[in-house]
């Protein structure tokens, strides 16, 4: 019967209940005070009545607030989060009208609006998918063509940041570091050799041949630098004299949105969409960072709110001791699998290079970071990257009262983790990255557009991580 009343009437009845209950409590208090006044003084009686009235009113208000919070405030918070999820994260799940059954027509109206929005988005997505398929076919043909040409090609913007590299270039960059879009050329090549060639390029406006030295001067490559219209240049390295593995046939990695260049910083004023994110997960021998060890690191990169295809880490790690059978049952990493794997010193340093210039993201980050911090001396690095935790981002967007496990978050945001990849480092890192990509526009829609905005908001929910750990 109560579910058929309008929202305004329900709210009115809440306040009527407060008025009626408060009046009743005052009358009861006066009656009790009057009875007490017959045996003591009149003043004592009214003081007693006042105390009873105050305590009763406080108790009544607390009780009604609990009802209001459970049946109105929480459902509205959940409804708002679900609407933002559908509006900004492209999730097609239905609005939970049952949870908001006491909100009158609000939940059905919200469901109707988001359904209409989803239908419109679906039509647009179908047209985009058709065009995307055409572009993907063209990209495949271009990739196949470039693979046959013995030249490693890197496209660089005016700020010396990598915009594109092909499979052969990825092999060259792998010999000098970790291939990464938006990375500075100085991460791989000697500044002087690149700088001299670029100065000559700017002066003549013509292609320049030179010897590109590696950053540590332990490798050199015959290279050509060609100017590009609008600034920047194309670096072509003669791959005939470079050891190229069969993996070089993998697709092009690029993001042309980087052509104008963007700040590599991670300051508080940096917009969320201009940040580079290194999303990672670890599998371990146990759950105690002070005594257990990492057996696998998985990581992917997110740039311009998109997961960068081809830039990932899926590295087994030799913990230097047997892996407990109970742990292997969870992540399926065995002693035989890690027998020839690098130790945490080597693997951790590799991830550190992968995360250079990035914000590190993880689900329950304190747990994973505790392992990395413990072995930082063996890696020879300092873990001073800024960090975001998807547990806290979930609390900001969906409310602290919701469940914030990775599985719950994936279900809420329509992210699918293949069963065979769940509880693998790369599988969980990929799922966390997909969750992050869906949450970034939702955060912006909430007015949290800079890194500092998000950090300030997540501080309110730090207790969640303390409880989780």
Kindly list the catalytic residues. 423
Inter-CA distances, 262 with 69, 126, 174, 234, 270, Å: 44, 31, 23, 18, 10
For 50-83, give one letter per residue: b (16+ CB within 10 A) or e: eebbeebbeebeeeeeeebeebbebbebbbebbb
Structure token pair of residue 419:
């069963």
Other beta carbons less than 10 A from residue 10's beta carbon: 17
Q: For 92-103, give the DSSP string.
A: -PPP-TTTTTTS
Answer yes or no: are the C-beta atoms of 269 and 449 closer than 8 Å. no
Identify whether the C-beta of residue 16 lies closer than 8 Å to the C-beta of residue 24.
no
Token pair recorded at residue 399: 């409310």
* Strand stretches in 347-455, DSSP E: 359-362, 387-389
Q: How far apart are CA 146 and CA 277, in angstroms?
A: 29
Question: How many C-beta atoms lie closer than 10 Å to residue 366's C-beta?
Answer: 17
As a three-state string, the secondary structure of 38-93 is: CCCCHHHHHHHHHHHHHHHHHHHHHHHHHHHHHHHHHHHHHHHHHHHHHHHCCCCC
Give, as one character, the DSSP assignment of residue 258.
G
Report angle CA 254, 436, 426 to the nearest 5 degrees: 75
Cβ neighbour number for residue 97 with a 10 Å cutoff: 17
Tokens of 6: 């309008």
Which distant-in-sequence residues (6+ apart) come within 8 Å of 342 by Cβ?
315, 317, 318, 350
DSSP state of 450: B
Q: Which helix (H) or strand (E) holds 136?
A: helix 106-148
Q: Minimal CA–CA distance to 297: which of 237, 347, 233, 367?
A: 347
Taking CA atoms, 174 is separated from 168, 263, 318, 353, in Å, by 10, 24, 22, 11
**And the tokens for 162?**
């990598």
């Amino acid at each position: 019967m109560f579910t058929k009343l309008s929202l305004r009437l329900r709210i009115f009845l809440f306040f009527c209940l407060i008025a009626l209950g408060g009046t009743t409590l005052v009358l009861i208090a006066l009656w009790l005070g009057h009875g007490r006044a017959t045996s003591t003084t009149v003043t004592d009686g009214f003081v007693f009545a006042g105390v009873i009235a105050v305590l009763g009113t406080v108790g009544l208000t607390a009780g009604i607030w609990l009802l209001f919070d459970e049946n109105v405030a929480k459902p509205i918070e959940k409804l708002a989060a679900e609407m933002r999820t559908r509006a900004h994260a492209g999730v097609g799940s239905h609005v939970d009208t049952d949870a908001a059954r006491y909100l009158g027509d609000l939940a059905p109206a919200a469901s109707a609006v988001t359904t209409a929005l989803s239908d419109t988005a679906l039509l647009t997505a179908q047209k985009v998918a058709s065009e995307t398929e055409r572009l993907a076919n063209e990209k495949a043909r271009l990739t196949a063509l470039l693979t046959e040409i013995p030249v490693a090609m890197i496209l660089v913007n005016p700020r010396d940041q990598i915009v594109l590299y092909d499979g052969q270039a990825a092999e060259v960059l792998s010999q000098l570091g970790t291939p990464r879009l938006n990375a500075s050329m100085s991460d791989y090549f000697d500044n002087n050799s690149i700088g001299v060639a670029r100065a000559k390029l700017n002066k003549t406006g013509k292609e320049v041949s030179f010897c590109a030295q590696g950053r540590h001067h332990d490798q050199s490559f015959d290279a050509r630098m060609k100017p590009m219209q609008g600034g920047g240049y194309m670096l072509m390295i003669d791959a005939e004299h470079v050891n190229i593995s069969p993996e070089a046939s993998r697709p092009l990695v690029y993001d042309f949105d980087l052509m104008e260049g963007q700040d590599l910083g991670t300051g508080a004023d940096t917009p969320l969409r201009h940040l580079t994110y290194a999303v990672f997960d670890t599998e371990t021998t146990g759950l105690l960072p002070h005594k257990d060890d990492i057996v696998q690191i998985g990581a992917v990169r997110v740039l311009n709110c998109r997961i960068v295809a081809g830039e990932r880490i899926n590295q087994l790690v030799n913990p230097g001791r047997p892996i407990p059978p109970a742990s292997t049952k969870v992540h399926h990493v065995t002693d035989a699998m890690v027998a020839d794997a690098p130790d945490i010193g080597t693997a951790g340093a590799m991830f550190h290079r992968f995360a250079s210039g990035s914000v590190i993201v993880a689900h329950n980050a304190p747990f994973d970071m505790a392992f990395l911090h413990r072995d930082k001396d063996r890696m020879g690095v300092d873990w001073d990257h800024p960090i975001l935790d998807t547990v806290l981002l979930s609390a900001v967007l969906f409310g602290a009262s919701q469940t914030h496990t990775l599985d719950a978050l994936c279900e809420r945001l329509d992210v699918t983790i293949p069963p065979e990849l769940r509880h693998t480092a790369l599988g969980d890192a990929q799922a966390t990255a997909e969750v992050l990509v869906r949450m970034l526009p939702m955060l912006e829609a909430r007015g949290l557009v800079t890194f500092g905005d998000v950090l300030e908001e997540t501080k309110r929910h730090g207790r969640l991580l303390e409880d989780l750990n």
